[in-house]
Structure 1
Amino acid sequence: MEWMKGGFWITTDNNCLDIKAIHDYLTKSSWAEGIDLQTVIESISHSLNFGLFDKNKKIGFARVVTDYCTFGYLCDVYILEAYQKIGLAGWLMKCCHSHPDMKRLRRIMLVTSTAPWLYEKCGYTAINRDSFVWHVIRPDIYKNMG
C-alpha cells in the first residue's frame, strides 16, 4: 500500500526500504543500541513495515510485529530529526492504523519512553494495572552479543 501527502509518501513495499539507513538509525537509538544488521534484516522480513520518504530519501519508519488477524506490536517508530515537528509522525501512525491488516487487530501494543503524547493522540492508552502486562527485558542484548 502507498499513501501520499505533498512530497512525502509512505509505503509497505519492503523492496523500497533502505535497510542500511534503518539499521544506522536503530543502532544509535535508545531502544536498539548496537543492533546488528542481520537482526534488522530478519526483523523487517517478519513484520508489516511502513517506510516514510521525502521524494526518494528515507526519513522515517515503523514496523508492526503481527499475526495479521488478532495482535500487533508497534515498534521501531522514528522520524529523522530534521523532519520532526511537522506532523509526519502523526501521519505515519494514521497510515499504519488505516492499513486493512491493522484494522482487524483486536489488540495493538507498544512500548515507549520518548513519545507517549503521540500515541495518546492515536488512541493508545497506558496499561497501569498491576499484574496485567508482563515481560522479559534485556536492554543491553545487542551490546553483549559477540
Structure 2
Amino acid sequence: MALEVDTRPERLDRDMVYRYLSQESYWARGLPREVFERSLANALCFGGYAEDGSQIAFARVITDRATFAYLADVFVLAAWQGRGMGKQLLRTILAHPDLQDLRRMMLATADAHGLYAPFGFNELSKPERLMERLDQDVYQRLAVAR
C-alpha cells in the first residue's frame, strides 16, 4: 500500500495527532494542547494518509529551510506499523524541496535507530560540541499551573 503524504495544515487530523503525542508517545506525554498547536504552526508538518483518506502517520520538521532541520514527532499508528509506512514517510520528508542541501538534519530517538540509519542518520559526529537545555517536567508544571 502506498502512503499519501501531504503538508497542507488544514488536512491534518489534529485531534488524532494530539491524542497520540500527548497520551501514547514516550516523548511528549502530557503535552498541553496550546503547546501542541503552537508547535504545528511553527513547523513543516507531514501527514501520512491511507487510501481511504484517514491519517495514519505524522512528522514535523523544524527548519530554517537553508542550513538546518530537526525532525520531530514521527509516528505511524500501531495498526499500520510494519508495512513500510515509516520508510515511505521519511523518503517523502527527505525529498521535500524546502529540505534540500541542508548542512545538518538532526533527530532524537530512543528506539528507532534502525529506521533512520538507512536514510543517513548516524550518531553525532562530534557530540562534545553539542549541548542541550532540557526541561523534562515542563508539561507537568504547565498542567498544574492551570
TM-score, structure 1 length as denominator? 0.91
Match of 1:81 among 75, 78, 92: 78
Runs of 4+ more than 3 Å apart: none
Greater CA deviation, 19-28 or 130-139? 130-139
Q: How far did 1:129 drift?
A: 3.5
Q: Deviations over 1:31-87 (max 9, x none)?
A: 011001111111111001100011221111000001111110000000000000110
CA distance in 2 between partners of 1:142 and 1:132 (Å):
28
**Which AA in structure 1 matches 2:107?**
L
Alignment pair present for 1:35 and 2:46: no
Match of 1:23 among 18, 26, 37: 18
Q: How far did 1:128 drift?
A: 5.7
Q: Give the unaligned 5+ runs of structure 1.
A: none
Q: How far did 1:10 drift?
A: 0.7
TM-score, structure 2 length as denominator? 0.91
Greater CA deviation, 84-93 or 128-137? 128-137
**Which AA in structure 1 matches 2:100?**
K
Greater share of residues in helix: 2
Alignment pair present for 1:72 and 2:63: no
CA distance in 2 between partners of 1:95 and 1:136 (Å):
30
Equivalences, count:
141
Greater share of residues in strand: 1
CA distance in 1 between partners of 2:85 and 2:46 (Å):
13
Match of 1:44 among 40, 46, 65: 40
Percent identity among equivalent residues?
33
**Superposition CA RMSD, Å:** 1.3
Contact 1:33 1:143 in 2 (8 A): no
